[in-house]
Structures are given as structure tokens and as C-alpha cells.
Amino acid sequence: MNSTAIYREAIQHCRELLDRAQAVNLDEPIDFSLATVDADGQPSVRVLLLRGFDERGFVFYTNSQSRKGRELDCNPRAALCFYWDALREQLRVQGKVERVSDEENDAYWEKRPRLSQLSAVASKQSEILEDRQVLVDQVDELDVRYENQPVPRPDHWYGYRVVPSRIEFWIGRDGRMHERSIYEDSGQGWASFFAYP
């Protein structure tokens, strides 16, 4: 199998697994942990929601002035980890990170609930908030300002796409006889192999 076919197989496995997770009616079937690293090599991780997926990669949206946004600016690589306890399956992805197009950003922004738009405009994500009421008041003020009109997308709010260079599928088995299958781009093209659990 050539490199392109191996990558397509990995993406198809991802698609099937994400579909299966959504089919079993889990509370949050598309949430994942995103790990980033700052300029000093200090890692951080948080849970996000997957907002897009295709052969180009995995998309999430955020405030680029947040901690994760700043970390991705200085080190545009990340790792994702999805885990579905009900399925006993895990999906891990590593890769470089790129911004999605303005067209994609605007299209997704327009689909967001109005309150989510308002809070995204008001939030100085990751900065110190002395009192939660300050944020509530800011959202209320914005709601009045944009009454009967669309809430504009802030320039610092956009999507990121994690372009895979490594994808790992893990299936939990009794007796720690787990299955691990890995797809990896070594720089010479994509290859697939199994790993000990």
C-alpha cells in the first residue's frame, strides 16, 4: 500500500470511530484533550470540542490570545487525545497546527449560538477575572449594542487545524492485552504498524 493510501486508511478509521462514538449517545462524543507546549517547554492540556474533521485534519476554534493560542503561536505543534470509556477506545493524534481560512472561520461563527458569540467577544480568555459579574455585565452590554444585528467575529477568534503526522488507535482488552495500531509520517511518507500495549 502506498503512502497516500495508508493515510487515507487512517483518516477513514478516524471517521468510523468518531461516527461510532456519536452513535452510542455519549454525553460529549466529540470532546478531546489538547496538549500544547510553551516557549520554555512547559506543557499544558485542556478539554475542547472537535468542530471539524476531514482529510486535512482536526479543527477546533478558540481565542488566539488565550494561553493555548499563545503557545501555538510559538510552537505550532499539538497532540489530541479522545477517549471513549463506553467503547474502550482511544484516538491519539499529533501534528503541526495551522489556522483555518477566514471563510471557514466566518461560516462557523455564524452557526454559533448568540450567547456563545457574545461571550467570545467579551472574554479576555486566560486573563485574571476579579469577579465573574464583570463578564456577565460585559456580555449584557454587548447584547444591547448588537441588538437586532449580527455579532461580529473578533479578529483574534478563529479556528486551528491539527494536520496529523501520527495517529494512534487504542482498543482496551481484558488482561491488559490492548491493541495499538499506529499510522505515522516519518518524513518519507506514511507507514502503519502495531505497537506493544
Residues 124-169: pLDDT tens digits?
Answer: 888 888 889 989 999 999 999 999 999 999 999 999 999 999 999 9
Q: How far apart are the first and last CA of the chain?
A: 25
pLDDT given at position 129: 84
- Rounded to an integer, the average pLDDT of 92-120 is 96
Name residues whose C-beta falls within 8 Å of residue 41's C-beta, 6 or more positions apart in sequence: none
Answer CATH for 3-113+155-194 from 3.40.1190.20, 2.60.40.1120, 2.30.110.10, 3.40.720.10:
2.30.110.10
Query: What pLDDT is recorded for position 124?
Result: 85
H or E segment and range at residue 8: helix 3-23
Parallel/antiparallel/unpaired status of strands 89-99 and 77-84: antiparallel
pLDDT-wise least confident of 24-28, 43-47, 50-54, 181-185: 24-28
Rounded distance between C-alpha atoms, residue 133 and residue 122, angstroms: 12
pLDDT band at 1 (very low <50, low <70, confident <90, very high): confident
- Coil, strand or helix: which one is 88? coil
Write b or e for each residue in 149-174: b if 16 or more Cβ atoms lie within 10 A of its Cβ, otherwise e: eebebbeebbbbbbbbbbbbbbebee
What is the structure's pLDDT at 27? 80
3-state secondary structure of 12: helix
- 99-119 mean pLDDT: 96
Identify the weakest region by mean pLDDT among 28-32, 51-55, 95-99.
Answer: 28-32
Whether pLDDT at 100 is above 90? yes
Provide the annotated active-site residues: 176
What's residue 15's pLDDT?
Answer: 98
Largest CA distance in the chain: 60
- pLDDT, tens digit (0-9, with 9 covering 90-100), for 41-93: 999 999 999 999 999 999 999 999 999 999 999 999 999 999 999 999 999 99
pLDDT of residue 28: 86
Rounded distance between C-alpha atoms, residue 64 and residue 192, angstroms: 34
- Integer CA distances (angstroms), 118 to 35, 125, 172, in order: 27, 13, 41
Output the pLDDT for position 138: 92
Q: Is the pTM of this model over 0.85?
A: yes
CA 72 and chain centroid, separation: 12
Helix (H) or strand (E) run with residue 116 in it: helix 114-122
